[in-house]
Every structure is written in structure tokens, then in C-alpha cells.
Amino acid sequence: MKKSCMFSSGRDAEVHSRVSSMASPSRRWLVLVPLLFAAACSHPTVSSRGIPSAGEWRTFEGTWSASGTRQTLNLETNHHASIFDLTGSLLLIGDQGLGVGFQAQAMGFTDSLAGMQGRCVWTDERGDKVYSELKGEFVETGNHVVGTFRGGTGRYAGVTGEYSFQWKFIVESEDGTVSGRAVDLKGRALLSPTAEAHSGEGGK
């Protein structure tokens, strides 16, 4: 009777051992899955915020205060034309903007009936330039002006994009001296990959 019990007990132990060995891979996976999940969640990531990639639009806002000269030719009634030359400091803001500080100069021709056409050059602290074309209404307080980027030098080579603002005259003297500022200046720019690479090398 004792032998039978011992035999039965031995068989049960063997069966239990086989079941345990068959179940062990599943148990191991149950243990590994939470570990793998935790490792994946804790893997360090690098934020790309503040590092514009090639082909990414950069938005900006800014202020431009300028002074210079304007010469006006009076034509028939309610019709006059002018040429202007304005220079001043341009400050831009934006998380991934085009830049911070520029010296901006704009020259052009404006007609009270036909509107305005001009050219503008922004020069940064390193001497790199941004070229743009200006179009809009007759240059007068409150009138709307649109600028279109036409390339540049250095880090701005091949830049495209546009910006807009409203002009407000502050001082207008009889001798043609004027000063004013751009109101609600906003825009966006797209730098070429070549220019961005050049900028990165220059900043090392």
C-alpha cells in the first residue's frame, strides 16, 4: 500500500514538473513584457523645438522705425507722385524666426493713383542681407504694404517668403524729411537647405 502511494506521488511530481516546464516560457514573457514596455517608455527623446529643419517655414513679427527723405511731385488735381528713401532699425520676434535685429533700408516710387513699388534690404549683425520687393497702396499713413523676399546673401541665400505691414508717418516736414514706423508687421520665410548649412558652419 505504501509503495502504491509512493508511485502515485512520484508520477504526480513528474507530471507537475512537465506542466511547469511547458508553462515557463509563457511566464517568462509575462515578466519580460512589463520590463520591455518600461524600457521603451523611459527611452530618452530629443525635442526638435527651436531647431528648424530644412524646408520649414519660419514665422515672425516685428517693428520697424525708419527715417529719411521723400520728394513729391504734384500733378493734376488729387494726383501726386513721390520717391522715398527710408532707413532704420528692424527688430523681429518669433520662436523660429528669420533673425532678431536688422538695419533696413527701403527705396521706391509711389503714385497716389497707381500705388507703390519699391525695394528693401535687411542687413543683420554679420553683414548678411535679405532682399525684398515692396508693393502696395500709395505710401501714406494707414496704407497696406506687402513685401516679397527675393533671396539674400550668406545664411539668407535663396530665401523666399513674404511679409506685410501698415505704414504710419510720425514726422513730415516741408523740406522732405520724414520719419515713421511699420505697424502690425508680420511674415514668414523659408530658408534654403544650403543656406541653413552655411549658417550652421558659421556659428561654430
pLDDT score for 170 = 83
- Which has the higher per-residue pLDDT, 85 or 40? 85
Written as one letter, the residue type at 132 is: S
Residue 61 and residue 32 in contact, taking contact as beta carbons nearer than 8 Å: no
Average pLDDT, the chain: 77
pLDDT score for 121 = 98
Above pLDDT 70, what percent of the chain? 65
Question: What do you get for the CA distance between the two ends of the chain, in Å?
Answer: 90
CA distance 81 to 77: 12
Evaluate if residue 2 carries a pLDDT over 50: no
CA distance 92 to 86: 18
71-113 pLDDT tens trace: 999 998 889 999 999 999 999 998 666 788 999 999 999 999 9
CA distance 100 to 191: 15
pTM value?
Answer: 0.68
Neighbours of 18 (CB within 10 A): 10
140-183 pLDDT tens trace: 767 899 999 999 999 999 999 999 999 888 888 888 999 999 99
pLDDT score for 12 = 52
φ, ψ dihedrals at 2, nearest 5°: -65, -40
Above pLDDT 90, what percent of the chain? 49
pLDDT score for 41 = 40
